[in-house]
Amino acid sequence: MPAVSTEASEAPRPDALRPVTRAASPAPDRRLRPGGPGFRRMSLALFLAGVATFALLYATQALLPLLSADFHASASDTSWTVSAATGALALAVVPLSALSERFGRRTMMTAALCVAVPLALLAPFAPTLGTLIALRAVQGAALAALPASAMAYLAEEVRPKALVAAIGLFVAGNSVGGMSGRVLTGWVAQWWGWRAAVGAVAVLALGCALAFRALLPAPRHFTPAPLAPRALVRTVRGHLANPLLLRLYAIGGLFMTVFGAVYTVIGYRLAAPPLALPQGLVGSVFLVYLVGTGSSAAAGRLVRRTGRRGALYLAAGTTAAGLLVSLGGPLWCVLPGLVLVTAGFFAGHAVASSSVSDTARTGRAQASALYQSAYYLGSSLGGTLGASAYHAAGWSGTVLLGLLAVAGVVGVTLVGTVTARRA
């Protein structure tokens, strides 16, 4: 007799009556990524914004000898066309970084270019040196909104694994802008004068600004925050009370003092006898900036081998060696000296700036903004003091100022070394 199946008569188990539930899958990351929609447009937009910003910021640096001749002014007077712009940027970068928290990164970057570019178009028509300096100061203050907002935009809109590459492209735009603006003005000025050269940079920046606005994707991850001045002041005070951050700010400012002094004055030395280079070649000397790309990348490997303080000592030593080599009269001494100064500066800047983010546990945006403020304040002071030293004692005076700033870097770093050993 066949066995009777009992499966149909078995009572169902209680757990069999429960609905099947699956673990909720994590929400997809909709931030921009390489190869994804919008990433290439965003990268190109911010690259062009960097080109526009730094081409405008240093537009007059290669033209200072021509400004001196046209306005019958000394090197220290014309240097204010650079120092006023970088000094205003230094003062404005912290408050404008706070405003971007309220009004949005894209809005602030657009506003920066909408103010700076028209001022650049007006600059060639400045009737006096004082008018030109005033236009440059307002321009520098406006441009402060762009680097402060760009980094925050990238942090919010780009996936973490792609963030370093995106920031690297923006920084590359900064470098290309600073270099190309100087080279472009040098060659245009040789044929048509400094006013045409400044106008050419303004047109370049206008094109970059229009492309930036058309390409940059609208933010999808920005959340407006109310303005909180008291909280900002507390955060800034906390950073300024941190001895390690203060040392890093001082190191960045001192390195930039050397760099600002050298590159503000070098045009006068190259244009004067016995070198007497034409204006186009004077501007082309700024191609030495390309050395900084390599030394910035090498700084990371240097830190892994020698530690941060060891890397800073080597950067300071390289900068000092470049200053001393540049004292030689022939061009084959001046150019290698510039190469060494540039390599040492970019390596030191890379080490100091990266250390700020690692050191600040809270308020990293404000910590970085304070570093930028110290950095551009150093550029402003270096340009003006370097030109004054050149006016008083020639290139040797500028070199002496640079060596004093390098000694300051070594002294501040030594304080950090001693403090670390006592801890």
CA distance 205 to 181: 9
pLDDT per residue as tens, the chain (423 positions): 444 444 444 455 555 545 555 555 555 666 656 666 778 888 889 889 989 999 999 999 999 999 999 999 999 999 999 999 999 999 999 898 888 878 888 899 999 999 999 999 999 999 999 999 999 999 999 999 988 788 778 777 877 766 656 766 777 777 788 888 889 999 999 999 999 999 999 999 999 999 999 998 887 776 777 878 888 899 899 999 999 999 999 999 999 999 999 999 999 999 999 999 999 999 999 999 888 877 877 887 888 898 889 999 999 999 999 999 999 989 999 999 999 999 999 889 888 887 886 787 777 778 888 999 999 999 999 999 999 999 999 999 999 999 999 999 999 999 987 876 776
Q: What is the SS3 assignment for 367-409?
A: HHHHHHHHHHHHHHHHHHHHHHHHHHHCHHHHHHHHHHHHHHH
Q: What is the pTM of this model?
A: 0.84
- DSSP string of 17-44? GSPP--PPPPPP--SB-TTSTTHHHHHH
CA distance 310 to 71: 46
Q: Which CATH architecture has domain 229-423?
A: Up-down Bundle (1.20)
Name the β-bridge partners of 158. Answer: 32
CA distance 345 to 379: 12
List CB contacts of 296: < 8 A, sequence separation 6 or more.
346, 347, 349, 350
The angle subtended at Cα 137 by Cα 134 and Cα 140, nearest 5°, is 150
> What residue spans define the domains of the chain?
38-216, 229-423
* SS percent in the chain: helix, strand, coil, step 5: 80, 0, 20
CA distance 188 to 196: 7
CA distance 354 to 364: 11
Q: Which residue has the tokens 């001192």?
A: 254
Asked if 38-216 and 229-423 have one fold, the answer is yes
Q: Which residue has the tokens 């004077």?
A: 282
Q: Using N-to-C axis directions, what is the helix angle for 39-57 and 145-157, rounded to 10°?
A: 160
Topology given in CATH for the domain delimited by 38-216: Growth Hormone; Chain: A; (1.20.1250)
